[in-house]
Chains A and B, each alone.
Chain A
Amino acid sequence: MKRRDFVGLTGLATGALFLPTVPGLGGNPVDPARLLIAADPAVNKRLADAALNAAKAAGATYTDVRIGRYLNQSIFTREKQVQNIASGESFGAGVRVIANGTWGFAATNTVTEAGLAKAAQLAVQIAKANSKVQKEQVKLAPQQGYGTVSWKTPIQQNAFEVPVKQKVELLLAANAKALENGASFVNSSLFQINEQKYFASTDGSYIDQDVHRIWPTLSVTAIDKASGKFRSRDAMSAPMGLGYEYLTPKAADKIPGPAGSDVIGYKNSYDILEDAAAAAKHARAKLTAKSVVPGKYDLVLDPNHLGLTIHESVGHPTELDRVLGYEANYAGTSFATQEWKAKNIPFGSKQVNIVADKLQPGSLGAVGYDDEGVKTKQWDLIKEGKLVDYQKIRDQAHIVGQKESDGCCYADSWSSVQFQRMPNVSLQPGKEKMSVDEMVSKVDKGIFIAGRGSYSIDQQRYNFQFGGQVFYAIDKGKITGMLEDVAYQANTQEFWNSCAGSCDQSDYRLFGSFFDGKGQPSQVSAVSHGSATTRFNGVNVINTARKIG
């Protein structure tokens, strides 16, 4: 595409930029013509070497450099108009060192040899200052250098090369579908991320990576003016590690929910027009849905809902930094301590097999190498209900008696220090053939839940309360109608031990979390969670309706 064409098409949306800014992805607005110009690895290597050499000269015993160009574009619409477009670029470099056995880090947007050398010297200065009060020296798991290598998200169509006009038209068409089907209001948006990351370290790696992610989403609201009641339904899409091809729907990627629910799930492509129409119908139906009677129910959880339950109750408590106390002041610790693990207490029932995976195609967390130069892999976290391993990075492996990192180190920007983040964490589907309808047919008193709603869990990951987007009563093996005011409360271990099994591989899909927060200063990361529809027996359901007068 010629630069002029791209700018011209982009102009459609920038016309809305003087509307109030919708919080986007951070970074600064950027000339769209620059989005398509790739960085030169040879230049990056020269810059990185300047930092590596300056740090060594200043006294560092280990150094890594990340030169990052982070592009994001987010398009926001409501009803018939574009609300905002933010095309952002953040470009700079971060230098991490070990000096006097202590970490130091400094970042700069002056991406020159002198600028990086200065940042390296500041990082060493910080490390040396901190070393005066430090008691234990950093121990890094050994890591081979890979020389000059590269990796790219296997996308078919770069979303940044798709004309903004085309994207806007799609979102506005989705809005029109929602309005035609009874929505009072509809907001839709499309987030696109491209991380162009160059990593170099004193281990001898020079790693060039090009990472892509995309998230189309919408929220529909229906209002009953007479009563003043309003209800909403959010998209059933998942953010994915895919290109714009995700927005070309394929019939084979559509997975219907249980009969009587009119829920449709999406696998590797998403039909935003179909989902917008369904969202409007669901939002209207929620206005008159029956308020749930609290009590114990067997829950049948759709992958688009269960993904976040996996994220909160399995993904986070198996992060080794939490287990060790590194997040105690912010995100919390974990019940799944090394002492707890040693007792061999069941984390879940024997049907629960959960894997960590940084390679899964189409997932948000897939990369070839992490942000400290470790090649990525797949490994078991929970096997037949037992916790067998954690998620680790290089300076943690020795603490649990292991010799290598799991490749879970990530920073959300060149200006952020890399630390342990969650890989894709997924529940394996059942080995026996089972459809969603078969699963529902065996439930006497239950609720089918789809979509991400209100999620909250304590700082050690025991007590949680999770909601959803749509809820359907199951009575004697059949869906009997829509419910509202539903949330379930449980203890993580009790919940996973109540797992009665999953549908088979044909129902397996990825859910995604695009802005998972952790760390101080807080950083976001994106991960996927796969599962098939899964049943949990005897879970406590509460009614969340209140009156405010």
Chain B
Amino acid sequence: MAILSQDESQAILKKVLSFSTSDECEATLSGSNGGNVRSARNAISTSGAADDVSLAVEARFGKRSGVATCNEFDDATLRRCVQRAEEIAKLAPESPEYMPLLGAQTYIAAPKSFAASTAGITPDFRATQIGKTMKICDEKKVTSAAFLNDEAGFVAKRNNKGLEAYQQYTNLSFSITVRTPDGTGSGYATGDYNDAAGFDAGTLTQVAADKAAMSRNAKAIEPGKYTVILEPAALVANTDASLLAALMNALDARNADEGRSFLSKKGGGNRKGEKLFDERVTIYSDPTNAEIASLTFAGDGRPQKKMTWIEKGVVKNLYTSRFWAQKAGIPDIPRPGGWIMEGGTQSVQDMIKGTAKGILVTRLWYIRPVDPQTLLYTGLTRDGTFYIENGKIKHPVKNFRFNESPIIMLNNLEAIGKPVRVNGNLVPPLKIRDFTFTSLSDAV
């Protein structure tokens, strides 16, 4: 039952709303099917599958609200769920940040967020793909640890103010770390897709294995400020916090207006409209982008549309709740699902060729905020760090700890490469001068 069609979903939601006696009522139905397989030491370690569907009903009387849920769909259960939401709403206090439910919305045409090839993935498909990685690594006499995860799901909303939304989605993600048997080399590769037809575990395994072989017997060089080429997986991770995601997460209007953000202005107000980054930095979101298709509506039903966040280094827009937008008299913009950083046409290899001296970074790890005032983050390089000299990789280097802010980083921009998909975003490799490494790590 996990993937309901639009007609099936809206039929349930209409029935739910017909049971309501509240001033405002909104129902959301969501569900998914998914599976995964994980390997380590060139063997499958865990593998599983799960499915779930749930309904949430929010009932409102004036500025009072109540929510109840269920995951059974017979008439009696649905009626009881609505009654419980109403019962809670009648007893609730008025909310000082009440906003009426949205009425009918116009959503842009649904993008290709769903692919039958991904929804149809079987245990045999997963086993075959992970088996391919293990075979390659056996042949190369290296050790791999990998993870393949796929999901197909849907979200449907409806309220008695006229809002109606529905969309299906699919996603497949894969990542692999390959280590050399002597423990001195490690390489990494990752990819994610709406459509599994574009996925081949073997290609990504090859990349990670090559990096592992190249990174053996790394040399130590002094920490300090270096020109770095950060590969896309080093800028946005699907396993950890990351520098560019941290910047996007900080574009919140309320935090900025309240004085607790790097975007807060001395004496009050925020820095929207100011040029805070190199003029080559442009970041926008677009749920219809074919490469990173995502939901065209936000969790509260607001439409998602193309939105520019940073344009030529200038902060153009901040996202906000509907309440804060009304209170502050600012545009009402939901937080985006995925985002796109504009780039050039250069590959990482092209960028290496154009570098006299620098460090190539495959991936960053354990990235944590140090100071929210300056958006300073710390973390480490991992799984392939190399010294570049005269346009070529000269030798692997030991991993570094960095202490750096994405704001400083995007002001020290030397070059931008061609964006690729990482964790639902399009991210280019970046060449940055004066990137601050503060210590060395013996970790491989």
Contacts and interface: CB of A to CB of B under 8 A. Distances in A.
B392 interface: no
A232 to B, nearest CB: 8
Nearest to B134: A133
A329 B48 contact: no
Contacts of A324: 40-41
Nearest to A460: B443
Interface stretch (B82-90, B105-113, B226-234): B82-90
A325 B46 contact: no
A7 B374 contact: no
A14 B65 contact: yes
A2 interface: no
A415 B84 contact: no
A102 interface: yes
A133 B198 CA distance: 23
A133 B128 contact: yes
B18 interface: no
A90 B63 CA distance: 28
Contacts of A160: none
Contact of B56 (A8, A28, A335, A485): A28
Nearest to A81: B96
Nearest to A18: B65
Contacts of A135: 42-43
B122 to A, nearest CB: 8
Contacts of A15: 63-66, 89, 92-95
Contacts of B403: 465, 542, 544, 546
A254 to B, nearest CB: 30
Nearest to B363: A459
Contacts of A328: 40, 143, 145, 177, 179, 186
B371 interface: yes
B370 A225 contact: no
B230 to A, nearest CB: 17
Interface in B252-287: 258-260, 262, 264-268
Interface in B67-90: 67-69, 71, 81, 84, 87-90
A130 to B, nearest CB: 5
Contacts of B442: 335, 460, 462-463, 491
Given A126-B48, A329-B146, A454 B378 contact: yes
A61 interface: no
A343 interface: no
Contact of B92 (A11, A455, A544): A11
Contact of A228 (B38, B186, B267, B380): B267
A11 B66 contact: yes
Interface string A80-107: 0100000001011010000000111111
Interface residues of B, number: 112
Interface in A209-246: 221, 223, 225-232
A228 B265 contact: yes
A29 to B, nearest CB: 5
A153 B50 CA distance: 29
Given A14-B88, A29-B56, A546-B376, A419 B382 contact: no
Interface stretch (B6-14, B162-170, B351-359, B433-441): B433-441
B58 interface: yes
Contact of B97 (A29, A81, A333): A81
Nearest to A11: B91
A354 interface: no
Interface string A465-494: 101000000000000000001010101000
B114 to A, nearest CB: 21
A326 interface: yes
Contacts of A42: none
Given A12-B92, A228-B267, A458-B382, A184 B259 contact: yes
Residue among A21, A457, A489, A546 with most chain B CB within 10 A: A546
B328 interface: no
Contacts of A32: 88
Interface string B347-380: 0000000000000000001111111111110111
B58 A456 contact: no
Contacts of A30: 68-69
A312 to B, nearest CB: 9
B5 interface: no
Given A11-B91, A81-B97, A325-B143, A489 B438 contact: yes
B60 interface: yes
Closest 4 CB pairs of A and B: A11-B91, A133-B131, A15-B92, A105-B48
6 contacts: A31-B68, A81-B96, A126-B48, A456-B379, A462-B443, A522-B239
Given A225-B267, A461-B443, 4 more contacts: A132-B131, A329-B145, A456-B380, A520-B38
